A = this chain, B = another copy of it.
Amino acid sequence: MANNTFGHAFRVTTFGESHGAAVGCVIDGCPPGLTLDHAAVAAFLARRRPGQSHLVTPRNEDDAPEFLSGLDLETGKTLGTPIAVVVRNQDQRSGSYSEWWHTYRPSHADFGYDAKYGIRAWQGGGRSSARETVGRVAAGAIAEQLLLSRFPALRICAWVERVHTIDARALLDPLAVERAQVDAHPTRCPHTASAVAIETAILTAKKQGDSLGGYIRLIVQGLPPGFGEPVFDKLDALLAQAFMSLPACKGVEVGSGFSGADASGLEHNDHYAWQGSTMTTATNRSGGIQGGISNGMPLDLRLVFKPTATVLKPQPSADDAGNNVELQAKGRHDPCVLPRAVPIVEAMTALVLADCWLRQRGQVGDPWPGLAGPLHRDGR
């Protein structure tokens, strides 16, 4: 039982192989009547586009989305029906990969796919390629527009916080970072000096046929309380699934995360305080999520992406005939996936939040108590 669908109420199904004819998605459950800003969708896709800078893969794709359905042809509004988006692959070169059709690339998905399906995804990494995320980003761009139509103060902003050992965490006020500032540098690190150092590190690694990993920080501001479902679909659980489903992501933490163990409960707790009719907490070690439900404070998460598995030096490996061999990789790749991962993380965030909103509206209605300012105390 495969499942290439994400979300329950706002659902996106992606399709397409890296070196097949096209990639894309079908978005099911988008409310009707949303006036889609096509340029904003295209701009979001352009942020993850290969070839956008000297730091990323030179694969040449213009990634222009074609909308096949779900939109009123006259007004451009969503119909409430499935929105199919197709992006043609233009620069697929599966021939480039022919030399290791029988060899498993280290730390790639090749062996796992073969063990699972008994057939190699010849089209170049198949569904494990970052190219699959085109469909996610197109859908996420629409999800973000949907969210903004209801919650205009919402701000989803991710950035490169660290690459290799260059870490800008202590140098930034996370609540002050804006998307334009992030996009201003090809590294997508909004701290200028760090960005320059990261750029140098990536270019050095690239020259050496090597690759680098790092951290992405995500902050969401303006999110009301009440997002997320108890138990299995806690907001942080859905976000963790969303991010860990991205190629190369190997860890997710919320709020204080792994460092939270250094504190005791008395030190760690976030104390509530009303500021007018808005609930706040004095600190935000919870990262905006308590018991799996948003509490109105900023969401604060950190993700780690491993260094790109494709490196251009000979490596020991094994083939599908039982031989241990040496592999010399070729092909285009990102020496560091983090700059292009930023919009993908934002898109996944928008998908999770749009889904949570519609699910909440379905069960409780809209506005729900957490949107109404002073809580309805239900007669007690």
Contact = CB atoms under 8 A, between A and B. Distances in A.
Interface in A58-83: 66-75, 77, 79-83
Copies in the complex: 4
Contacts of A94: 73
B292 A104 contact: no
Given A81-B230, A363-B9, A274 B1 contact: no
A180 interface: no
A5 B68 contact: no
B261 A304 contact: yes
A357 to B, nearest CB: 9
B265 A308 contact: yes
A58 to B, nearest CB: 18
Contacts of A214: 261
30 contacts: A1-B9, A2-B229, A5-B5, A5-B11, A9-B362, A15-B69, A15-B81, A15-B84, A21-B67, A101-B380, A106-B270, A107-B269, A107-B285, A107-B286, A111-B272, A111-B279, A114-B375, A132-B231, A164-B261, A164-B262, A210-B264, A211-B265, A213-B263, A232-B241, A244-B252, A250-B258, A261-B304, A265-B308, A274-B322, A277-B322
A254 interface: yes
Interface string A355-380: 00011111111101110001111111
A303 to B, nearest CB: 9
